[in-house]
Amino acid sequence: MLKRTQTIATATDETADACALSRRSLLRLGLTGGAMLMGMPAFAAGDGKDGAPVAGGTLTIGADADPIGLDPTVVTAFSSADFIALIYSGLLRWNAKMEIEPDLAVSYEMPDEKTYIFKLRQGVKFHNGQDFTAEDVKYTFDRILDPATASHLRAQYSTVTAVTVVDPYTVKFELESADAAFLNYLATADDGAIVPKGVENLMTDPVGTGPFIFGSYQPNQQFTLNANPDYYEEGLPLLSTVVFRFYKDQSTLSSALRSKAIDMTWLKDPKVAALMSRTSPQLVSAPGQTSRTFPIWMNLKAAPFDDVRVRRALSLATDREACVQTVLSGSGKVGAMLPESHVGGYDGTGEMPYYKHDPEAAKKLLAEAGYPDGIDLGEYIVVAANALDVACAQILQQQWQAAGITVKLMPMETAPLLNHWSSGTWPTLLSVALSWTPDADAIFQYLVSDSKFGKAVGVSDDKLDAMIAEARSEVDTEKRAARNMEIQKHIAENAYILQVYQYPLRWEIWWDSIKGYEPLAANVRSFVRTAWRDE
């Protein structure tokens, strides 16, 4: 048993603050000669009052989905990211405030807007004992960019033209054009994870440099990770074992937490999390930043939604605040295209065009559009398995009815719903929530004219396309934030999509015997690496 002393913990806190650099200051440091940045553990929660962190012990996490493969380059499944985040590490990573900090890279330089030179951390080993070098970085990205791999990440790194090894601990990325999204992708657990050169079968036998080593996996039962004794961060991870137990059913998950069969989980319904922590004060529920939005996708390719007045009328007929209050019990915010955790994300209070709830104005607009007696919009398709979506849809149905707009609810199984959505074959209205993506641009891509989803929705707006492209190539964070806000207003103005609310993907909740943990808006449990058990 290793007892960390108070002084070390406090010291690390200060270092953590120094390291929690915003992207801009990191950039500045990089430009001013590649100063060494020490990636020290960020004990954001442990400010000393909980006592000194204790090493050892097992953390049992209740998970709601099995991973579908563990090779970060190849998997497309969302559920795998959480596991990949603890097994692998990337050149950069997100801290709890959603700022980028160094991970396997210690610093980088930008000779120009299209070139990044990373200095790599030395002495890092993969779980199989292999040394981590620039060759692995090159291998990882060459593999992503090779069309034969069919990696979904190729689109993310589409601006990368070459990755070259300068020396064993220096690697150079050359980009086709300035790309503000590049570093964000590198910092994201599954998108930027570095895989070891020459190792096969990562899908089932993952090998990374992360804080935990893959132990065993019994599908539907449990997934076990063991501490990586050679992890580069001094003294981390503190836990010796992390066990994920799978509970597909939300009620079972919350009952399991209550009965302490698990120490920690995340829940889909904020009301459950709130009620649970109210009845058991030893449960900690920290929602974290919002990372997900609940939109209504309209089929713009045909009447009546090819008429902007009908879309605006629907937006005016929607009482977003009431949805936040009733469905989320207030623990969310009114949503726009970008959740608050993104550069230029909407905070839920600023003005957005056609956001004011006004059924009378909606009726007037409908009358102008040729529907003086109201309109029947037919089927509104929602994800049957998602209770929050179904609940919100029922409230929306009532709100719209007040403005003379009739819809018929159609909860659908997930598989056919995704099919309708991605191929643009839904009749009029469909809702599927948009989860956090590493970069704001990925969210805007859903509405770009010639993209897969742009075509599915039926958006055709050259001005919007240009605005989105310009924003991605704006590497100055503040300027980019302003551009992103403009794009969101433009989308709301034309009501290409109706965003209702934004919320964290999951409401994380854990027993207070687990310390040093923080939820991350990036939808992965990265801070299991700093968590410890206080018995």
Partner 1 sequence: MSDTVHNTAHNNDKEASRPEAVAPRRLPFTSGQVLLVLGLVMLALMAVVTIFAPLIAPYDPALTSASSLAAPSAEHLLGTDSIGRDVLSRLIVGGRTTLLITSVAVFLALAAGLVLGLLSGYVGGIVDDVIMRVLDVIFAFPVFLLAIAVVAGLGPSVPNLILTIAIVYTPAMARVVRGPVLSVKQWDHVEAARSIGMSELRIVLRHVLPMVVSPIVVATSLTLAQTIFTITALSFLGLGPPPPDPNWGGMLAEARQFMELAPLTVIAPAGAIVFATLTFIVLANGLREVLDVGSVR
Partner 2 sequence: MRRMVIARLAWTVAILLGVSFVAFMLVRALPGDFVQTSAGAQNVASDVLEAARRELGLDRPLLEQYLIWLGNAVRGDFGYSFVTRQPVVGEILPRFVVTFQLTLIAGLIAMAMGVATGLASARLRGRADWIVRLYNGFILAVPNFVVATLIVLVVGLYFPQIAIFNYTPFFTDPLANIGGLLLPALSLALAVSVTISENTRAAVLEVSGQDFVMVARAKGLLPRTVLANYLMRNALTPIVTVTGLQVATLLGGSILVETIFAIPGMGQYLFDSITSRDYPVIQAIVLLASAVVVIVNMFVDIAYARIDARAQS
Residue ranges that bind partner 2, judged by CB under 8 A: 66, 68-69, 76-78, 150-152, 154-155, 203-204, 218-221, 246-249, 251-252, 255-256, 258-259, 261-262, 385, 413-422, 432-435, 437, 442, 445-446, 451-453
> What is the rounded (10 degree) CA torsion for 305, 307, 313, 315?
60
d(CA 377, CA 429): 8
User: Which one of partner 2, partner 1, none is in contact with 247 (Cβ closer than 5 to 8 A by kind)?
Assistant: partner 2
* Nearest distance from C-beta of residue 439 to partner 2, angstroms: 12
Count of beta carbons in the 10 Å neighbourhood of residue 396 = 28
Query: What is the Cα gyration radius of the chain?
Result: 24
Indicate the residue among 63 and 485 with the shorter CB distance to partner 1.
63
Q: Which does 69 bind (CB under 5 to 8 A by kind): partner 2, partner 1, none?
A: partner 2
Asked whether the beta carbons of 222 and 244 are under 8 A apart, the reply is yes
Structure tokens at 88: 């692998």
Instruction: Identify whether the C-beta of residue 500 lies closer than 8 Å to the C-beta of residue 323.
Output: yes
The site partner of 15 among partner 1, partner 2, none (C-beta below 5 to 8 Å per kind) is none
CB of 381 to partner 1, least distance (A): 9
Distance CA 115, CA 349 (A): 38
Q: Report whether 67 contacts 224 (CB < 8 A).
A: no
Residue 42 or 383 having the CB closest to partner 1 = 383
Q: Which is nearer to partner 1, 74 or 412 (CB)?
A: 412
Neighbours of 409 (CB within 10 A): 14
User: Which lies closer to partner 1 via its Cβ, residue 96 or residue 417?
Assistant: 417
How do 58-63 and 264-267 pair as beta strands? parallel
Provide, rounded to whole angstroms, the least separation between the CB of residue 275 and partner 1. 5
Residue 411 site contact among partner 1, partner 2, none (CB < 5 to 8 Å, cut-off depends on kind): partner 1
For the bound state, the minimum distance from the C-beta of residue 140 to partner 2, rounded and expressed in Å, comes to 17
For residue 534, give the 3-state DSSP assignment. Answer: coil
Nearer to partner 1, 145 or 275 (CB): 275
Q: How far is the CB of 64 from partner 1 (least distance, A)?
A: 13
Q: CB of 374: closest distance to partner 1 in angstroms? A: 18
Q: How far is the CB of 227 from partner 2 (least distance, A)?
A: 21
Please state, in angstroms and rounded to a whole number, the distance separating the CA atoms of residues 172 and 163. Answer: 6
Phi, psi of 143, deg, nearest 5: -65, -40
94 versus 444: smaller Cβ distance to partner 2: 444
Can you tell me the distance from the alpha carbon of 27 to that of 16, in angstroms, rounded to the nearest whole number?
18
Task: For residue 433, give the 3-state DSSP assignment.
Answer: coil
Residue 482 binds which entry of partner 1, partner 2, none, CB below 5-8 Å type-dependent: none
Closest CA to 225 of 240, 208, 207: 240
Q: CB 407 → partner 1: shortest distance, Å?
A: 11
279 binds, among partner 1, partner 2, none (CB under 5 to 8 A by kind): partner 1
Among partner 1, partner 2, none, the one that 66 touches (CB under a kind-dependent 5 to 8 A) is partner 2
Residue (356 or 452) nearer to partner 2, CB: 452
Q: CB atoms < 10 A from the CB of 350, how many?
A: 12
Secondary structure element (H or E) that encloses residue 397, with its range? helix 387-402
From the list partner 2, partner 1, none, pick the one residue 218 interacts with, judged by a Cβ distance below 5 to 8 Å according to partner type: partner 2
Q: Which does 387 bind (CB under 5 to 8 A by kind): partner 2, partner 1, none?
A: partner 1
Which residue has 């207070």 as its token pair?
512
Q: Are 212 and 228 in contact (CB under 8 A)?
A: yes
Closer residue to partner 2 (CB): 363 or 420: 420
* CA–CA gap between residue 194 and residue 207 (Å, rounded): 10
Residue 103 CA to residue 105 CA, distance in Å, equals 5
- Give the Cβ contact number of residue 52 at 10 Å: 15
Cβ(469)–Cβ(480) under 8 Å?
no
Give the closest residue to 515 by CA, choosing from 499, 528, 496, 498. 528
Q: Residue 445: name its binding partner from partner 1, partner 2, none (Cβ under 5 to 8 Å by kind).
A: partner 2
Question: Which of residues 154 and 357 has its CB atom nearest to partner 2 in the complex?
Answer: 154
Nearer to partner 2, 25 or 419 (CB): 419
Q: CB 393 → partner 1: shortest distance, Å?
A: 7
Partner interacting with residue 393 (select from partner 2, partner 1, none; CB below 5-8 Å by kind): partner 1
- Cβ proximity to partner 1: between 283 and 308 the closer is 283
Number of C-alpha atoms within 13 angstroms, CB side, residue 182?
24
398 binds, among partner 1, partner 2, none (CB under 5 to 8 A by kind): partner 1
Structural contact between residues 521 and 288, judged by C-beta atoms closer than 8 angstroms: yes
Smallest gap from residue 522 Cβ to partner 2 (A): 14
Cβ 474 to partner 1, closest distance in Å?
41
Minimum distance from residue 330 beta carbon to partner 1 (Å): 9
Distance CA(128)–CA(230), nearest Å, equals 11
Q: Which is nearer to partner 2, 408 or 452 (CB)?
A: 452
The residues of the shown chain that bind partner 1, judged by CB under 8 A, are 250-251, 254-255, 258, 269, 271-272, 275-276, 279, 325-327, 329, 384-385, 387, 390-391, 393-395, 397-398, 409-413, 415-416
CB atoms < 10 A from the CB of 278, how many? Answer: 10
